[in-house]
Every structure is written in C-alpha cells, then in structure tokens.
Structure 1
Amino acid sequence: MRPLLLVLVLLLPLSPTAALADASAQEAALWAALREGGHVALMRHALAPGTGDPPGFRVDDCRTQRNLSAAGRAQARAIGERFRANGIAAAAVFSSQWCRCLDTARELALGEVRPHPALNSSFGRRGEEADQTRAARALIAEQSEAGTPLVLVTHQVNITALTGVFPASGELIVMRVEGDALSLAGRIATAP
C-alpha cells in the first residue's frame, strides 16, 4: 500500500502541468482546424453589460441598443490578436446586425464584416428561433466550402440553439462542418 501512496504523491505535482499542456495542445488543434477549413468559429459578442435590449430597441440605431463596454472593445481587439498569433490574419467574417456584434466583428480586424440577419438575436422571439437556426446552418454550409477561415459573430441564444453550448462573452465555439451538420470540435476561452 505504501508504494502506491508514494507513486501518487510523486505524480500529484505533475497533474496541473499535464492538464495545462493538454489544454494548450487542444487549443492549438482548434486553431489549426480553423486555418485548414471545414470548421467555423461561432463567437459570442464581446462584453456588453446587461441582458437583452432596452425598450425602444431599433436595429438601425445603436443608441437604442445594449452596446460594448470599453472592456468589450479591448476584449474584441485582443481576440483579433489571438487569431493573428495563431496564423489567421484574414477570415470571412459575418455578424448579426446588432451593434454589439458588428462592433465586435470590426474590432477583430480580420477583414470585411458582412451583416447577416440569420445571426440576429432570437432572444424574446422564440417562434422565429427554428427558422433562424436553419438559415444560420445554411450560411455556415455555404461559406465553409470557400476555404477561408469562417467567423460568425452572434449572440448567446443563437449559439446555444446551434450547438447546445452556453458561451461566455467573446468565447469561440469551434464547430466541425459537414454539409449542414455541425458537431462540437471544442471551445476557445477568451477572458477579458
């Protein structure tokens, strides 16, 4: 019994190091998958304090919306730097038409940002969620064949509907794309 205890005591300090190395290798594999194609990065917009949108919300007027904080803008720029540090200097970037998503996408600085209604928030509009999710899947299937890294900036509720994952602000959910079918490849945390 004592030899087993000795082995456990000797291996215990290695566990955090091994876990960090494994997490680092998994993240590197996700960045490689995004570079190589057949994957999409679904990104929840960066930090925008609050929930939903205020009364009187209008998609064409940022003053009526919940917007990115200064920390959210900095977070989005830092995420763009992570893309570049991992070999992705340009991508096909699509965004919800909500200002917090458009601003996040622009701050990434990965190329032209194309607004797309399939990525608009379905929060509070549950009857439209299924149609919107189908439209988002179609967009992903169409764009993933282009061979360019694909980034979609959208909202938590949309990402959860597509993936079953509840992402943090700015988190990247990397999905394998096979036609219009998606499967989870992994998550890349992007803490502010």
Structure 2
Amino acid sequence: MLRVIALLLLGVLVLPVQADQKAAWAALREGQALLLMRHTTAPGTGDPEGFRLGDCSTQRNLNDRGRREARRWGQLLRKRKVEQPRLYASSWCRAQDTALEMGFGAVETLPALDSFFSDPSSQAAQTAEMRKAIQQLPADRPVIMVSHQVNIQALTGVSPRNGEGVIIALPLSEPAKVLARIRQP
C-alpha cells in the first residue's frame, strides 16, 4: 500500500514538471520565450591573469567534453523542434564555441552577455544592458543565448551549472520568469 501511495505521489509531482517543460519548449519555439544557457564545460574558474577577449589562447576554453556537450545541446534542440534559432553569445571564446558546436550556423556576438565575474561592481549595469538587449530582440524565430553563470544568476536567480540552461518568458518581467530549467543533455 505504501508503495502505491509513493508511486501516486511521484506521479503527481512529476507530471506537472513534465507539462511545464513541454509548455516551456513550445513557448521557445513560438518566440514567447528564449533559452539562456551557460557555456558548456571549460575546466577551471574565471580566466587566467591577463586574458584578452580577442585571443582565445589567453582564455579558459572548452575541453573535448565541453564540445561534446554543446553538440548534444544541438541534438536536443533539434529533437524539441527548435528550428533556425537566432544564436547569440558573449564575447568569450567558450561561449562562442558552445554556440558554434550546436551546429546551427552563424553566431552573433552580444556584449550584453559578457561576464562580469572579474568585475562584480558592474553587475547592475551589465544586467540592465542584457535586459535591454533581450527586450529589443525580434520575435520571428527561437532565440538561444550563451552566457555565463554570474549573468544568468543576476537575471533569473538561477545559478546554472556548466551547460545548463533556463527557458525564460518573453517579454521579460522583473524578476525574469523562469519557465523551465534544462539540464545539460
């Protein structure tokens, strides 16, 4: 009897989550939400002393695992029927490479997605700039943005792991409404 009750409770708890995820994916496909994800695995924290944005050899970059994770994101998005997305990424090579490895084509650099990890005092201004950039996006097709943990947490309150994403409702509310948290595939 306890097993039956436990299974019923599990069904009650799991079904709404699945339904919420299904609705979030539909909103993404329809331009009523966007996917904001953290770059995939790039070992370490922050960037080496003296890194330069225009020079990937000075930055913390994706490893082979991170590249495989990004390709799995592309597979997941195709499976979920997210077609011809607009791809935006921060100026950091690990974010650019995550977006490129998904296999959807061109990636537009969006400085509003740039990390403020090394300058926490710029959080408010950077987050306001990201909000402004999101609000100005055309809604003609799905949008995927690749950024960094600090940026996503500042906007949504969610602290994502490497390669984790959140589907957030559009237009943005204050705070941003998270429709679903998507684990790294």
Alignment TM-score, normalising by the size of structure 2: 0.91
Q: Distance in 1 between matches of 2:173 and 2:14?
A: 33
Q: Distance in 1 between matches of 2:3 and 2:90?
A: 51
2:140 corresponds to 1:150? no
Amino acid at match of 1:148: R
Q: Distance in 2 between matches of 1:90 and 1:38?
A: 15
Provide Cα deviations, 1:86-141, integer angstroms capped at 9, x if missing partner: 01131111100100000000011223200111111100212222111111111111
Q: Distance in 1 between matches of 2:43 and 2:14?
A: 30
- Report 1:63-142 matches (<5 A): 63-142=57-136
Equivalent position of 2:20 in the other structure: 26
Amino acid at match of 1:164: G
Amino acid at match of 1:161: A
Identity %: 41
2:161 corresponds to 1:159? no
Could you tell which deviates more after superposition, 146-155 or 171-180? 171-180
In structure 2, the CA distance between the partners of 1:180 and 1:13, relative to structure 1 (3 Å rule), is: closer
Aligned equivalent of 2:184, options 169, 184, 190: 190
Q: Distance in 2 between matches of 1:38 and 1:11?
A: 37
Equivalent position of 2:167 in the other structure: 174
Confirm or deny: 8 A CA contact 1:92 1:111 kept in the other structure. no
Equivalent position of 1:3 in the other structure: none
SS in 2 for 1:135: helix
**1:156 deviation in Å?**
0.2
Confirm or deny: 8 A CA contact 2:20 2:179 kept in the other structure. no
Could you tell which deviates more after superposition, 18-27 or 162-171? 18-27
Q: Distance in 2 between matches of 1:86 and 1:155?
A: 23
The answer for unaligned runs of 5 or more in structure 1 is 1-5
- Report 1:42-61 matches (<5 A): 42-61=36-55
In structure 2, the CA distance between the partners of 1:123 and 1:40, relative to structure 1 (3 Å rule), is: same
SS in 1 for 2:116: coil
Q: Distance in 2 between matches of 1:137 and 1:180?
A: 10
Q: Distance in 2 between matches of 1:10 and 1:78?
A: 36
**1:179 deviation in Å?**
5.4
Alignment TM-score, normalising by the size of structure 1: 0.88
Confirm or deny: 8 A CA contact 2:156 2:177 kept in the other structure. yes
